[in-house]
């Protein structure tokens, strides 16, 4: 195995120290060997658990793994032990979920606000402009979405400087890993049931995670509200998807618990096979669609031609429930996050003062680039900031030297190019040594973690049917990496152990 015992000079912390037999410096060689043997046993048990419970992704090494189900599977990358997380911050993050759900819904109804807040971004960001164009068309025909479904994930990091829980972003489209995330919690529970005594860790301190069944429940209830027994759920997917099993977990729950059939189509297929009937019904392949669930469509690369944009517009014009609608999608942009963080903006959308205070407490510093003073500070101290374009899916943000160079370049360009970005306070979570498992091998590294809290929201006109916190996802990444995508290969799936 490629697991290397940590060098003695390395800083020890939380999770690695829990591998107690090899924890303390100066332990006897026999004990160290026993520690390594326990570790190897755990890694193998964990990998087997993943295989027999579907905690799997497509393997990059197999070219067919992104298109053909059941071919070229490998266990998803995971941390061997759950990350310690203070109960108070866990509770705080859970409480925020229904408030953010409601906020998204309220903001989505204010089309003028969305258009105005993104009007400068639109000048310089073609992708945002295309989304806004669809939104504008819907405003022009006064399109109303009576049934609204949100499946969100609000991501947080614990800032070690201020000892506070701060939001990284709120995802309103294609929030990933409800399926695999809930499995990782189960994996860790199983491992602690077997090894917890040796490690001194109690499996009961891992919160239950029902993200997959709760998201399926929300989709199932939305389907019921649509009220057409023969209608299906349409999952809009990318042509190649190595994270398909995360999606198939939802498909499976939907079928087993609600008897609802899901069809998977790419945007190009929707454009080729789809139509909207005069009564608004979206029909694909001859089947009426009750709910459109997007697991694609959030990135410019999802729209390689006009055909994909036509598909997006077609679905938006239909009476199908869109998860998300174009409005919900726009509410999740970084620019809107920054606008909502301005003084007195939350008050426009929410009434409850306590809720507003809770949300605000979780906001990190966020600035638009027309704030010259902040741009100056960021050029002076780039490591204290993150520069973000209006993009999703990881790997798009700019840090450090690149951030400084980019700001200087953008300033020189004069024009509106600064409006494509926002600046955010950089959050610094405490790093700890963690055993990570990838491709059957265990590595130990210094890591930081990001906690995502899922939220499900469903309403039909005035009736709120669901407004819940719906499980969680911990993602852990090597602390030297700026970005945290699991699918992108930067991070591993994780769960939490409450402290």
Give the residues lining the site for Mg ion (CB under 5 A). Answer: 169, 171, 392
Q: Is 416 exposed, middle or buried (0-12, 13-18, 19+ CB in 10 A)?
A: middle
Place of tokens 């609000």: 154
Instruction: Rank residues 444 and 450 by Cβ distance to ligand ADP and give the closer one.
Output: 450
Chain Cα centroid distance, residue 349: 24
The CB-nearest residue to ligand ADP is 484
CA distance 499 to 90: 10
In the set 475, 479, 484, 495, the catalytic residue is 475
Q: How far apart are CA 92 and CA 158, in angstroms?
A: 12
Find the shortest distance in angstroms from Cβ 294 to Mg ion.
Answer: 13
Is 475 one of the catalytic residues?
A: yes
Q: Which CB atom, from 101 or from 337, has the smaller least distance to ligand ADP?
A: 337
Question: Of Mg ion, ligand ADP, none, which one sits near residue 397, judging by CB under 5 to 8 A according to partner kind?
Answer: ligand ADP
Task: Based on the residue annotation, tell me whether 163 is a catalytic residue of this protein.
Answer: no
Question: Shortest approach of ligand ADP to residue 315 CB, angstroms?
Answer: 22
Choose the one of Mg ion, ligand ADP, none that binds residue 233, judging by a C-beta under 5 to 8 angstroms depending on kind.
none
Element (H, E) at 112: helix 111-117
Does residue 361 have an active-site annotation?
A: no
**Residues 443, 436 contacting (CB under 8 angstroms):** yes
12 is catalytic: no
Write down the least CB distance from residue 95 to Mg ion, Å: 21
Shortest distance in whole angstroms from residue 225 CB to ligand ADP: 29
The answer to whether the CB of 287 falls within 8 A of the CB of 232 is: yes
Burial tier of 45 (Cβ tally within 10 Å: 0-12, 13-18, 19+):
middle
Indicate if 153 belongs to the active site: yes
Least Å distance, CB 162 to ligand ADP, is 12
Binding site for ligand ADP (CB under 6 A): 155, 168-169, 364, 386, 388, 391-394, 396-397, 424-427, 450, 483-484
**Catalytic one of 22, 102, 145, 169:** 169
Helix axes 178-199, 211-226, angle to 10 degrees: 160
For the question of residue 347 being annotated catalytic, the response is no
Nearer to ligand ADP, 393 or 400 (CB): 393
Question: Measured from the CB atom, is 143 or 477 closer to Mg ion?
Answer: 477
Pick between residue 427 and residue 458 the one whose CB is nearest to ligand ADP. 427
Identified catalytic residue from 44, 137, 252, 393? 393
CA 499/CA 486 separation, integer angstroms: 25
CB of 485 to ligand ADP, least distance (A): 7
What does each C-alpha distance from 34 to 73, 79, 229 come to in angstroms? 31, 20, 59
Non-local (6+) Cβ contacts of 192 within 8 A are 81, 82, 199, 201, 202, 203, 206
CB 374 to Mg ion: min, Å: 22
Per DSSP (E only), the strands in 313-358 are: 321-323
Q: The tokens of 385 are what? A: 């900031």
Catalytic pick from 79, 176, 319, 368?
176
Of the residues 65, 101, 154, 171, only one is catalytic, namely 171
Q: Which does 159 bind (CB under 5 to 8 A by kind): Mg ion, ligand ADP, none?
A: none
Which does residue 54 touch among Mg ion, ligand ADP, none (CB within 5 to 8 A, set by kind)?
none
Residue 171 appears among annotated catalytic residues: yes
Print burial letters for 383-412: b (CB count within 10 Å at least 16), e (below 16).
eebbbbbbbbbbeebbbeeebbebbeebee
Which residue, 5 or 393, is less far from Mg ion as judged by CB? 393
Query: What amino acid positions are annotated as catalytic residues?
Result: 153, 169, 171, 176, 334, 388, 392-393, 475
């Amino acid at each position: 195995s490629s697991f290397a015992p940590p060098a003695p000079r390395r800083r020890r912390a939380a999770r690695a120290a829990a591998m107690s037999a090899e924890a303390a410096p100066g332990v006897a060689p026999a004990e160290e060997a026993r520690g390594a043997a326990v570790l190897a046993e755990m890694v193998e048990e964990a990998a087997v658990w993943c295989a027999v419970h579907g905690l799997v992704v497509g393997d990059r090494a197999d070219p067919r793994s992104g298109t053909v189900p059941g071919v070229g599977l490998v266990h998803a990358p995971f941390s061997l032990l759950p990350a310690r997380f203070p109960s108070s911050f866990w509770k705080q993050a859970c409480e925020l979920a229904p408030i953010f759900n409601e906020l998204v819904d309220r903001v989505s109804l204010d089309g003028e606000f969305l258009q105005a807040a993104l009007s400068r971004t639109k000048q310089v960001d073609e992708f945002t402009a295309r989304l806004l164009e669809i939104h504008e068309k819907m405003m022009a025909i006064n399109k109303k979405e009576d049934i609204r479904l949100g499946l969100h994930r609000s991501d947080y990091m614990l800032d070690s400087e201020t000892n506070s829980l701060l939001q990284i972003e709120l995802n309103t489209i294609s929030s990933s890993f409800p399926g695999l995330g809930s499995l990782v919690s189960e994996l860790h529970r199983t491992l602690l049931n077997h090894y917890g005594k040796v490690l001194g860790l109690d499996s009961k301190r891992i919160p239950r995670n029902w993200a997959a069944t709760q998201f399926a429940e929300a989709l199932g209830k939305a389907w019921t509200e649509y009220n057409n027994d023969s209608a299906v759920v349409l999952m809009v997917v990318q042509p190649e998807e190595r994270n398909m099993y995360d999606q198939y977990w939802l498909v499976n729950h939907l079928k087993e618990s609600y008897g609802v059939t899901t069809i998977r189509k790419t945007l190009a297929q929707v454009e080729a096979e789809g139509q909207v009937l005069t009564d608004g019904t979206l029909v694909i392949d001859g089947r009426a669609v009750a709910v459109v669930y997007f697991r694609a469509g959030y990135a410019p690369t999802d729209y390689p031609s006009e055909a994909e944009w036509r598909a997006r517009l077609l679905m938006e014009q239909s009476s199908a429930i869109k998860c998300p609608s174009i409005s919900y999608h726009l509410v999740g942009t970084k620019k809107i996050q920054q606008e909502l963080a301005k003084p007195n903006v939350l008050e426009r959308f929410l009434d409850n003062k306590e809720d507003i205070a809770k949300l605000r407490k979780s906001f990190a510093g966020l600035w638009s680039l027309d704030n010259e003073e902040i741009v100056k500070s960021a050029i002076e101290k780039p490591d204290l900031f993150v520069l973000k374009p209006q993009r999703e899916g990881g790997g798009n943000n700019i840090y450090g030297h690149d951030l400084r160079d980019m700001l200087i370049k953008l300033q020189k360009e004069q024009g509106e190019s600064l409006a494509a970005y926002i600046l955010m306070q950089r959050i610094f979570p405490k790093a700890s040594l963690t055993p990570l498992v990838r491709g059957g091998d265990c590595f130990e590294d210094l890591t930081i973690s990001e906690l995502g809290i899922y939220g499900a929201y469903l309403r039909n006109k005035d009736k709120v049917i669901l407004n819940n916190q719906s499980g969680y996802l911990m993602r852990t990444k090597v602390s030297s990496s700026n970005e945290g995508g699991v699918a992108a290969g930067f991070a591993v799936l994780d769960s939490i152990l409450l402290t």
